[in-house]
Structure 1
Amino acid sequence: MNHTQTELKVVIGAGEYRNNPGWLHTQEEEVDLLNETTWKNMFKENSISAILAEHVWEHLTYEEGLQAAKTCMKYLKPFGYIRCAVPDGYFPDETYQSIVQIGGPGPEDHPAASHKIVYNYKLLIELFEAAGFEVSLLEYCDENGQFHQYGWDGADGVIFRSKKFDPRNQAERLVAPSLIIDAFKRGNR
């Protein structure tokens, strides 16, 4: 099935989340970041306006993440983007870090899905820039554990595990933040 509408927006690894009405929600069996054949079966190159991946990239090694970013680049339209959220390696909370660590217990709903990498903002930017993207930070912690948030719109893709949308993070203290970026494809690619 080839999707050809003008504003094709795809959620990768949607799981049970349906936070983005009007987006195509996919599972790994349908669109696998490491198997380009699954992409060819679903989409044309340069056809996707936006891709959203919430807590997906940390389940790939750095090399796999780079390969996945390059695949996304191929299928994004010029000026399209990936909104990517991962656990934040600079969030200063021991309990959080014990859950998100490499090979750690992982999220309670998917205990077998262990993490292969823990990103901080520098490493995530490096990966997407190496794939040819221009990166904007949306939410992240810096080296000192200081949280930063820039104005971003859920209409461009809701990340549930964020300061902006997760009810656990609406109090004075952050409980479950994400490192969130938008990675843009330049118009000449």
Structure 2
Amino acid sequence: MKVVIGSGQTKYDGWINSQEDELNITSIESWNRLSEPESIDALLAEHVWEHLTYEEGIRAANYCYQFLKPGGYIRCAVPDKNFRNDWYQQMVKVGGPGPADHPAASHKIVYDAKTLVSVFEREGFQVTLLEYCDENGDFHYNYWNEKDGRIGRSFRFDTRNSIEGLGMVSIIIDAKKPLIIRNRSQN
């Protein structure tokens, strides 16, 4: 089972689409209605975590961990605090406009790569950074396969980007649940 969290109008073959009213990622009851623990192969969340507080993001990461199979993963993308573009930063700022079709869902946090990685690592995930800007604003890209979860607001797929310049970037990570789980307490 592969699930897109907060899919909006996004639809991918082989993936189950969910909206917040179908899967509230901060509610264990909502997860239990979706599936059994350790039953999900992959999760995809594009620009979802910034609509949660830091603490809610940690809780959501914990639930993802509980419901992913060993070896399963979540591909997560959020706006990048270190991207040096004034227009972009105005759009993604805390309390900012959020999505046009859901203005009440404004951003509660703007992540840098280290903070986003830490949210998932503290829950036991092995995290790989795929795209991000470092503290100096320099953009970094590691190849990733879109078949494992396509991120539209990415270097390759956002039409505002080109080799000459970046117009829209995200921090993109793959957070994998290890195949062998060492002693770990569930929150």
- Shorter-chain TM-score bucket reads over 0.9
2:51 to 45, 52, 59: 59
Number of matched residues?
Answer: 181
- Distance verdict in 2 for CA 1:124–1:43, change over 3 Å: same
Q: Does 1:95 align with 2:92?
A: no
Name the aligned partner's letter for residue 186 of structure 1.
Answer: P
Partner amino acid, structure 2, of 1:53: A
2:169 maps to what in 1?
Answer: 177
Which residue of structure 2 aligns with residue 12 of structure 1?
Answer: 5
Aligned with 1:102: secondary structure?
coil
2:152 to 160, 165, 176: 160
Structure 1 runs (4+) greater than 4 angstroms displaced: none
> Relative to 1, partners in 2 of residues 1:139 and 1:186: Cα closer, same or farther, differing over 3 Å?
same
Identity of aligned residues (%): 55
Task: Spell out, residue by residue over 1:21-57, the C-alpha distance to the aligned partner (whole angstroms, 9 max, x if none).
Answer: 2100111111111111111112111111100000000
- Candidates 103, 106, 110, aligned match of 2:98: 106
**3-state SS of 1:181 partner:** strand
Hey, what's the Cα distance between the residues in 1 that align with 2:152 and 2:102?
Answer: 17
Q: Does 1:39 align with 2:47?
A: no
TM-superposed deviation, 1:171 = 5.1
Is 1:99–1:107's contact at 8 Å kept on the other side of the alignment?
no
Give the whole-Å Cα distance in 2 for the aligned partners of 1:142 and 1:134.
20
Equivalents in 1 of 2:160, 2:175: separation in Å? 26
Residues 149 and 79 of structure 1: CA distance in aligned 2, closer, same or farther (over 3 Å): same
Q: Which runs of 5+ in 1 are unaligned?
A: 1-7
Report the residue type matching 2:111 in the other structure: Y
Residue 52 of structure 1 aligns with an amino acid whose one-letter code is: L
**What is the distance in 1 between the residues matched to 2:101 and 2:130?**
26
What TM-score do you get using the length of structure 2 for normalisation? Answer: 0.93
Q: Secondary structure of the equivalent of 1:167? A: coil
Answer whether contact 1:90 1:142 (CA < 8 A) is retained.
Answer: yes
